[in-house]
Amino acid sequence: MNIRHITSRLLFTACAILIGSQLSGCIIGAAVGGMMESAHRTGKHEVELEYPGIEAHSFTIVVSANRLIEANNPGISARLTERINNRLIQNANPSFAIPSQDLLSVLYNYPQWIAMPRGEVAEMLEVERLIVFELIEYSLHEPGNQYIWDGSAAGIVTVYESDSGFPDDPVFEKTIRIKFPDSRGFMRNDIPEAAVTTELANRLTNRIAWLFYTHEESNILPY
């Protein structure tokens, strides 16, 4: 075997090793990239609260909705009040909170609270922080088409501090809007109505309650 032939074979082997290592590197890189993307999609991250004034203070939340929303969705205000109040009691570290059933009883017995100045509502309920959620939109399906789900809800969160010099003026305000399902075209035989109403309530509860305590959210959150 002459020198030229040996050299050619060595060059060929070297090239094959180099190409193989590059291909291996590409495969490994793609695999690592896929794992990182998967971890990101299934992972969570911490989100800071937006209003810090609930911790170490007495608080309560009240939810209002117009008559049309209540007529079409009986009990929606009470359900949201209970869900959000319970969540904040568990996570926002208040010094005092009215148990949900007691709160609902008071609001039921004093329906005039809706028209009262917010400072008077806070005084009536004996709390330092009054959270008000006004539900201004709530629907389950497309307008004029009750067979296709297109759930949406929207409202305004306001916070009042009764121990401040201006108990009737909001110190915090935030608009909330959520939807479900996340894609269009789902019909009544695809998703039961109870599942749609429950998920809308869950998403509203999350978005409202999360304003008041640091929490974890999924990296890929559709709402």
Quick: pLDDT tens for 139-153: 999 888 889 999 999
pLDDT bucket at 11, cuts 50 / 70 / 90: very low
Q: Are residues 23 and 70 located together in one domain of the fold? A: no
pLDDT of residue 144: 84
Lowest mean pLDDT among 25-34, 88-97, 163-172: 25-34
Residue 179 in domain: yes
Residue 3 has pLDDT above 70, yes or no: no
Show the tokens assigned to 2.
């002459």
Q: Are residues 153 and 199 located together in one domain of the fold? A: yes
Q: Are residues 31 and 53 located together in one domain of the fold? A: no
**Beta strands at 145-161 and 44-47: parallel, antiparallel or unpaired:** unpaired
Residue 32 in domain: yes
Instruction: Specify the number of domains making up the chain.
Output: 2
pLDDT of residue 26: 59
Q: In the predicted model, what is the mean pLDDT of residues 3-31?
A: 55
pLDDT of residue 152: 96
Q: Are residues 94 and 196 located together in one domain of the fold? A: yes
Write down the mean pLDDT value for the chain: 89
**CA atoms of 91 and 176, how far apart (whole Å):** 20
**HSE-CB for 216 with a 13 A CA cutoff:** 5
**More confident call, 219 vs 26:** 219
**CA atoms of 81 and 210, how far apart (whole Å):** 15
109-to-12, 25, 103, 105, 130 alpha-carbon distances in Å: 90, 71, 10, 6, 18
Residue 32 has pLDDT above 70, yes or no: no
Q: Are residues 147 and 117 located together in one domain of the fold? A: yes
Show the tokens assigned to 67.
């008559």
Q: Are residues 23 and 62 located together in one domain of the fold? A: no
Q: Are residues 92 and 14 located together in one domain of the fold? A: no
Model pTM? 0.81
Q: Are residues 193 and 96 located together in one domain of the fold? A: yes
Residue 74 has pLDDT above 60, yes or no: yes
Which residue's entry shows tokens 């869950």? 202
Q: Are residues 201 and 113 located together in one domain of the fold? A: yes
**CA atoms of 185 and 187, how far apart (whole Å):** 6
Three-state SS for 26? Answer: helix
Q: In the predicted model, what is the mean pLDDT of residues 60-78?
A: 95
Residue 223 in domain: no
pLDDT of residue 42: 77
pLDDT of residue 10: 47
Q: Are residues 59 and 164 located together in one domain of the fold? A: yes
pLDDT of residue 192: 95
pLDDT of residue 4: 53
pLDDT of residue 58: 98
Three-state SS for 20? Answer: helix
Q: What is the residue range of 23's domain?
A: 3-42
Q: Are residues 34 and 132 located together in one domain of the fold? A: no
Q: Are residues 78 and 105 located together in one domain of the fold? A: yes
pLDDT of residue 85: 98
pLDDT of residue 16: 52
pLDDT bucket at 31, cuts 50 / 70 / 90: low
